[in-house]
Amino acid sequence: MSTVPDSLAQLLQSAAAMQESGRSVLKTMLGMGEIEVGTSEKHCVYSEDKIRLYRYAPLARSAGLKPLLICYAMVNRPYLLDLQPDRSFIRELLHAGLDVYLLDWGYPDGADRFSGFDEYVDGYLRRCVEFVLKEHAIDSLTLLGVCQGGTMSLCYAALAPEQIAQLITMVTPVDFKTPENLLSKWAQHIDVGLLTQSGNVSGDFLNLIYLSLMPFRLTQQKYVNLLQMQGDRVALENFMRMEKWIFDSPDQPATAFREFIQWFFQENRLIRDELTLAGKPLRLKNVTAPVLNIFASKDHLVPPSASIPLGAHIGSKDYEALEIDAGHIGLYVGGKTRKTVPAAVKVWLQKRN
């Protein structure tokens, strides 16, 4: 049986070992140099103001499916989907023979502060969809929306249902007022008009909010866990890539952000069928294309309860929900999910081709 002094001696010994690990980890990190992200080959095929539409170079024989346009969120950078060659959701889609386009919202600045939410959905997104349709001489395409981009995709699918052959939503909030949604709870009392009165909302401010959702894990534990990566250069590089992505957050255009928070978070207009966009009433019942709704069971940003109600509100008779045992980010870069999710997407699309 160990005595208290024995325990203390063990603790001190472990602490000394941890200090040594820390030194080693720091040394490895200092020697890493520049971190590369977004490594798949792509070409900008359309640009307008800050936005860019990219088309990825094929990596396999075409599966003969409709082109797939990814609409990413505005609050983060889209290279999360193509973080590195062995952790790339996009690369897996390309290997599956899909023709992939990506809408990158860029880094909005002061010139964009008066662009409303409808300008992004019924303006930029619409013109990107129409570009792809024109490029392929087709009437409809597959739209894949991620997180906030999923909400935007839903809106677009309701505004222009004839252009959407299939809709895939990933970790997409639909019901913004569920009890588990901490972000929504916090957003209810914020005077977002005042917040955006002096311009765009900084990415740093949003990061502060995200970190506040789980402050002990996200600002302390994850760095302490670095010690376990001692001697594992690959793991440390992966960590640094993710770290870069997390804090590479664009500022949010004031008007669009205000409208998004007010209309969606505070008033929950989308699910209540009270949203009007670009002067047109937006009804989820207008979404008639087949829908695949992918959500993550451990998502702390968009809890499953925010995504699950989608099926009950759209007009589509072909609706499938896919729950993945992962977190909001792990869905794309997690050990198993980074292969299984793209595979599931391909199978789902093939069945509806």
Structure tokens given for 197: 């009165």
Q: Does 134 bind another protein (CB under 8 A)?
A: yes
Q: Which of 22, 28, 39, 127 binds another protein (CB under 8 A)?
A: 127
Single out the residue of 24, 28, 29, 58 in contact with another protein (rule: CB under 8 A): 58
Angle at 346 between CA 342 and CA 350, to 5 degrees: 170
- Which one among 66, 91, 113, 328 touches another protein, defined by CB under 8 A? 113
H or E element, residue 350: helix 337-351
Q: Minimum distance between the CB of residue 304 and another protein, rounded to whole angstroms?
A: 17
Strands (E), the chain: 42-48, 51-56, 68-71, 82-84, 87-88, 100-104, 141-146, 164-170, 275-277, 280-282, 291-296, 319-324
Cα separations (Å) of 172 from 99, 136, 352? 23, 28, 22
User: What is the nearest approach in angstroms of another protein to the Cβ of residue 185?
Assistant: 5
| Catalytic choice (71, 128, 147, 155) | 147
Binding of residue 7 to another protein (CB under 8 A): yes
Cβ–Cβ under 8 Å, residues 54 and 102: yes
Q: What share of the chain is helix, strand, coil (3-state, %, to 5)?
A: 50, 15, 35
**270, 136 in Cβ contact below 8 A?**
no
Residues 150-189 that bind another protein (CB under 8 A): 182, 185-186, 188-189
Q: How far apart are CA 16 and CA 22, in angstroms?
A: 10
Asked whether position 339 contacts another protein by CB under 8 A, the answer is no
Residue 147 a catalytic site member: yes
Q: Which residues 6+ apart lie within 8 Å of 26 measured at CB?
A: none
Q: Does 198 bind another protein (CB under 8 A)?
A: yes
Among 115, 153, 169, 238, binds another protein (CB under 8 A): 115
Find the shortest distance in angstroms from Cβ 151 to another protein: 22
Based on the shown chain and the rule CB under 8 A, indicate whether residue 216 belongs to the binding site for another protein. yes
Residues forming the site for another protein (CB under 8 A): 2, 4, 6-7, 10-11, 14-15, 18, 43-50, 52-53, 55-58, 62, 99, 104, 106-107, 110-111, 113-115, 127, 130-131, 133-138, 182, 185-186, 188-191, 194-195, 197-199, 202, 204-205, 208, 212-217, 220-221, 224, 228, 250-251
